[in-house]
Amino acid sequence: MSYSKFLISELITIQDKYRDLVNRGYKILDLHYFTLDKCLWFIDEVSSFWLQHREILKYCWDRISDRNDCFVLSAAINLKVKSGNHYPFRAIGDYQLLHDPFLKLENFLRAPYGSVNAEEVELQFRHVMKDTIDILTNYSHDFFFIQLSIIGSVSDDKIDTIHQGYENLLKEIFGKTGIDCLSQEYPTYELIEKRLGPDICQLLLFNDHNDVNMSLGERVEAFMKAQKPLTGNVTSGSECDRFLLALFCMYSQAIDTILSCLSAGVYPYFRSEIPAKYFYLLLRNYSGDEAMTEFIGKGVASYFLANGIEQLDIVNMPFDVYRDYVLREQPYATLINCLVPDGAKDIDCRPSNISKIVTPIIDKLRVDFGACGCY
């Protein structure tokens, strides 16, 4: 057995144990109607499981990620197999990871009484459980579950890094050397939007892709309305204050993703264009950093490729046939080879350039899938 196969076999063994844990947990939770105390008990069991296997997981993934592009699902709680989201993700990178979805729900489960919608959290937990069992039962060798902090750790100065980067971003997009007087200079959404211009504003999505048809003020207010725990703290603030808070929420999520993924040696995979746009926006802060440009560039490029595959509507195609095809044809490798040709020192991350490269790749997929009667 080769060394690489040995590493994967170790991960599969751990995944099998994780499947057993989840199946046992489901039976107990279902018997007790997913009550909060039982859900928290299960969360503790999951956390303990990852800690027990911490050393071997870190050993394996450190060596696999050194030689391969590994992507982790980001900006989403779970994969949602029933919606076919496993198809595009399977084509991105060499290995596909899923950060444990139960641990992503932990903060909601432990939130103070009345601060979250308990029924909605319970419903989400049930959906996550079904999705996880589906993956572990039918796609256990295609996607690997992991607690991301197990294979990477972010330094204690993360908060300082986020705040400093946020200030640098504001200076960049407002063209200022200082940001202390932004609220006085731009008290209204209209003045902010005029100062930033359309190129920046089209990247500032807060809710979904429909934001592109809304003014900046409408986007921010829709976002603040959806963030009920936050809106109570800023109702008396100026429009600029509300904009800055909304932007910080989105920026901090993007930076947190970057720091977590970099520490683990993996790349982020997005289903939504919102984080992809913020990643592109962040390139302004790292234009001279080759490593960061590559990291962000691969994250943005993978979104374009996955989005193109999703538009093919191939969910009725047998997954094993699809898997064999992407392993053979390597659409992601084709994209990266075109994006970073031999001898190039930097990635051209402009959406227009990435789209130009992705289009013929997707066209080939459409023809090939049509030829085999799968599309």
Residue pLDDT, tens place only, 17-55: 999 999 999 999 999 999 999 999 999 999 999 999 999
User: How far apart are alpha carbons 129 and 132 in whole angstroms?
Assistant: 5
More confident residue, 273 or 177: 273
Residue-number span of the structural domain to which 70 is assigned: 3-151
Q: What are the contacts of 170-178 at 24+ separation with CB within 8 A? A: 170/244, 170/247, 172/284, 172/285, 173/200, 173/281, 173/284
Residue 98: beta bridge partners? 145
Name the domain count of the chain. Answer: 2
* Percentage of the chain modeled with pLDDT above 90: 68
Are 99 and 222 found together in one domain? no
Choose one of 101, 134, 151: the last residue of a domain.
Answer: 151
Q: Enter the pTM of the model.
A: 0.92
Choose one of 151, 176, 200: the last residue of a domain.
Answer: 151
Once rounded to an integer, what is the mean pLDDT over residues 147-172? 82
Are 165 and 137 found together in one domain? no
Are 126 and 235 found together in one domain? no
User: How far apart are alpha carbons 50 and 224 in whole angstroms?
Assistant: 35
Are 170 and 121 found together in one domain? no
pLDDT of residue 350: 83
Are 146 and 165 found together in one domain? no
Choose one of 151, 168, 189: the last residue of a domain.
Answer: 151
